[in-house]
Amino acid sequence: MSKYIETCSKPERGLLVRFPLLLLILKRLVLSVVLLLSVSFLIFGGIAALPGDFASTYLGQSATPQAVANIRQELGLDRPVTTRYFEWLSHASRGDFGTSWASKSSISEQIKNRLGNSLFLAGFAAIISVPLAVSLGMLSVHFRNRLPDKLINIVSLGAISLPEFFIGYLLILCFSVKLGVAPYPATVYDGMDFFSKVKATALPTFSLVLVVLAHMMRMTRAAILSVMSSAYMETAELKGIGAFRAIIKHAAPNAIAPIVNVVALNLAYLVVGVVVIEVVFVYPGMGQYMVDAVTVRDMPVVQACGLVFATLYISLNMITDIIAIISNPRLRHPR
C-alpha cells in the first residue's frame, strides 16, 4: 500500500494522507482482493490435486484407459493445471463458471437459482436471531447473576455444545415425525408464495437460529458488561437512571463496535454454514448443490460453489472491518 501511495499523483496522495479513514478502507479492499485470489488458487489447486477424476467415476470400473483418456481430453483435464486455473479464473471473474460435467447445464444459472434460496434461508434466520440475541444479551446483563441470567447462559451453552446437524435431526424428530406440524423435506420452488416458503423453511431456519443465537447473545452480554464497569456508567447510576434504561441508552451504544463485529461474523457463518443444514433438510440451495457435485466429482460445480462461498465470507468480513473502523475511532490510529 505504501508503494501505491508513492505512485499516486500529488492530489491523490494528499487525499489519502489527509483522510486516514479512506486509506484504511482502501487497504481493507486491497487485502480482501488479494485474499480472494489466494483462496481461489487454493480451491482450484486443492480440488485438482484430489485422487481420482470425473472420467473414471462417470465411466465406471469397466472403463478402458482409452475411454478415460478421451473423456479427459474432451474436458481439458490433460492440460497443465496453471493453464486451466487462469482460464477458469478469467471466466469466473466475469460470472461464467462453465458447464457442469454431470448434468451438462450452465453452472451460473444453477447458482443463480440456488444462491437465492440459500440467501433467503440465511437472511430469514438473521432477521430472527440478531434482534433476539441483542435483546437477550441486554436482558442477561440486567438480571446478571440472577435466575434469568443463569437460565439464558445454560440454554446458550447447550445450544453451542450441540452440532447443527444434531439439532436439525432433533427438530425433525419432534416437529415433523412426532407432532407433524412442520414439513420435511424443506422443499421450495420458483413461483412459491412468501408464506408457503416461510413455512417450508421453518425447521432449517430454527436450526440456524439456535446455532448462531447463543454465540451472538454471549458476546453481546460480554461487551455490555465490559462497558458497565466504566466510570460514566457509575455516574449514570448515581444520577438515579434506572439500570435497564442505562443499559439501553448508554451501555449498548458504546458497545456497538464489538456487537457489530460478532453479528457480522455470525452472518458470514450463516451464509457459509447453511451447507450442513441444507443437506439435513434436503433444501435446494448452494450447500446441497455442492454436496451433490462432490458425490459425482463434478469439479467445475465444486470449484464454483467454493469460490462463491469464499467471496461471500470475505466480503462480509471486509464489511465488518470497515464498520468497526468507522464506529471505533481508536482503530484508525495504530499503536
Residue 151 clears pLDDT 80, i.e. is over it: yes
| pLDDT tens for each residue of 290-317 | 888 888 778 888 888 888 888 888 888 8
| pLDDT at residue number 69 | 74
Split at pLDDT 50, 70, 90, the class of 102 is: confident
| pLDDT at residue number 54 | 63
Cβ-count burial 143-178 (b if 16+ within 10 Å, e if not): bbeeeebeebbeebeebeeeebeebbeebbeebbee
| pLDDT at residue number 166 | 86
| Lowest-pLDDT range of 6-20, 28-42, 70-84, 122-136 | 6-20
| pLDDT at residue number 17 | 45
- The fraction of the chain above a pLDDT of 90, given in percent, is 1
Domain ranges of the chain: 1-49, 116-332
Split at pLDDT 50, 70, 90, the class of 12 is: very low
Residue 176 clears pLDDT 70, i.e. is over it: yes
CA–CA gap between residue 212 and residue 198 (Å, rounded): 19
pTM over 0.85: no
CATH architecture of the region 116-332: Orthogonal Bundle (1.10)
Cell for 231? 466510570
Task: In the chain, count H helices and then E strands.
Answer: 18, 0
| pLDDT tens for each residue of 204-260 | 888 888 878 877 787 777 777 777 666 666 666 666 666 666 666 666 666 666 677
